[in-house]
Amino acid sequence: MRRNIWGLTVLLLALVCSLPALAEPKPAGSPYEFTKKLSKIHPPATTYTLYDRDDKAEQKKGKKEPGGAVNASSVQRFALPNGLRVLVQEVPYDDIVAIELLVRCGVFQEESNLAGYTNFVLEMLLNRVASDNGEDVAEITGSVADVGVTPDLARLSIVTSSKYCDYWLNRLCHALTVPEFSEKEAENVRSRLLISLKERGGGFSELYEIFLSQFYRYHPYKRSNFGNEAVIKKATAAALSDFYKRHFGADHMVISVSGRASAPELVNIIKAQLSGLEPHPDEVVATQWEAQAQEKEMYLSSSANMAWVLLGYPAPPMLSSDYAAMRLATAAIGSGLSSRLWLELREKRGLAYELSGRFPELSGPSHFLCYAVCKPTSIGEVRRRMKAELKRFRDEGISAQELEDTRNMLIGEYLLKRETNAGRALRVGMAELLGPGYSADAQYLYELRKVTVADVNRVAKKYLNEPCLLVARPGGRFYLDW
């Protein structure tokens, strides 16, 4: 019986091996079908052909590290005469390409009567780039396109394959060269923005915006990244076009690309379309902000069955010499499951459902926010113990072992954020736009490594004073646990 089974097995293997190689059918989403579909969506400004790259030729350009890691080339920087900067990181073995458009225009540049204009303009640009005559270019090419606004910058992000990199870059450049927006473009975006404003309310995001308004008072950072509903309703195409012309100048822009792409080819596309983009001088924005201002406590009544405690302290800007030391101090206090607040309030006492800290990267005065979610009846004890833990850190400082553990955690986070092409393109682009240059991104690791215990203890004493407190729970302040 066994001989018969083995005989049949050998016979079947011989038959399979003798069959001629079958031609692999083209998948439904093959480049050929995409090319056919894309022919209906005429590439703006420049006509070119989507093509297949020679993988063998690409393999000769770079080396692959053990374990599959990609050996990315160093950053190549190009500057156009109009001030626009281009950063390219060639990663030959990664077929994914990330394109980041970063503009030095965020909440800080918006006047109060224009709150939300940056996000409005970005959404209209996204429509121009990612759709054409009703066709969803992102879906056809298997790509992702998105926008975002921070207090200091606006960004339009594209993640695609190397096959469509030039195509997307052409679309992006063409969208930037048309400074006038039509009423139809504005109306298509307005309804979506108003819906998103209503849907994002509640929970931590709403409380965080209230905290920012209380903490920054007259500083532009007090405003929401998404704008004001009344402003968005009244915004006209002419006003949005004027805002774009004033703030989206060539010298305010960085285009950062990472992935399997040719730097000379990308720069030629950008030069051909964006050399005529006009620069605009920086506008000086007068700001008033005092970290030691009065009215630093606020009590809100919440409809939820849980309570929130937000405790905020002033923190240095990202270009400050105190930044790296403060980053280590805030991480030791409130980042992760080994942080002081988590161990004290959650592990030891079980007082909070959720605990975390936040120290945003800002070019202006930043803040360190600790927050906890707990039972309404636990607010008093949570508030007291949070304050006590911050005071203990300020008075006693950090130990050498705690500093080393925290440093290793931050170095790991730094490397993880730059594992992808999207992360690499974003981080070097931000350093180029808001810092002294793209090399400052790598310099951050050096700054972390040289921070000492004395440095952390010094910044703790300097910044962890007179916190801004926000409490939200059912009934507001009318409890006897204070």
Q: What is the pLDDT of residues 229-242, one digit of tens each?
A: 899 999 999 999 99
Lookup: tokens for 392: 């203990």
Q: Cβ(135)–Cβ(141) under 8 Å? A: no
Neighbouring residues of 189: CB distance < 8 A, sequence distance ≥ 6: 120, 123, 124, 127
Q: Which residues pair with 370 in a beta bridge?
A: 311, 357
Within the chain, all domains assigned CATH 3.30.830.10 are found at 31-63+71-274, 297-473
Residue ranges in the chain whose pLDDT is less than 50: 1-72, 293-294
Neighbouring residues of 261: CB distance < 8 A, sequence distance ≥ 6: 88, 90, 97, 162, 165
Query: Residue 88 region, left (φ>0) first, then alpha (ψ -120 to 50), else beta?
Result: beta
Lookup: tokens for 121: 């303009």
417-472 tens-digit pLDDT: 999 999 999 999 999 999 889 999 989 999 999 999 999 999 999 999 889 999 98
Q: What is the DSSP string of 385-435?
A: HHHHHHHHHHHH---HHHHHHHHHHHHHHHHHHTSSHHHHHHHHHHHHHHS
**pTM, entire model:** 0.82
Lookup: tokens for 61: 């350009």
- Radius of gyration over every alpha carbon of the chain, rounded to an integer in angstroms: 27
pLDDT at site 436: 86
Q: What is the DSSP string of 286-353?
A: -----TT-S--EEEEE-SSSSEEEEEEEEE--TTSTTHHHHHHHHHHHHSSTTSHHIIIIIIIT--EE
pLDDT at site 319: 93
pLDDT at site 296: 79
CATH 3.30.830.10 assigned to 31-63+71-274:
yes
Instruction: Tell me which residue of 285, 423, 277 sits closest to 364, measured CA to CA.
Output: 285
pLDDT at site 64: 41
DSSP SS3 for 161: strand
pLDDT at site 201: 60
pLDDT at site 469: 92
CA distance 244 to 176: 10
| CATH topology for the 297-473 domain | Cytochrome Bc1 Complex; Chain A, domain 1 (3.30.830)
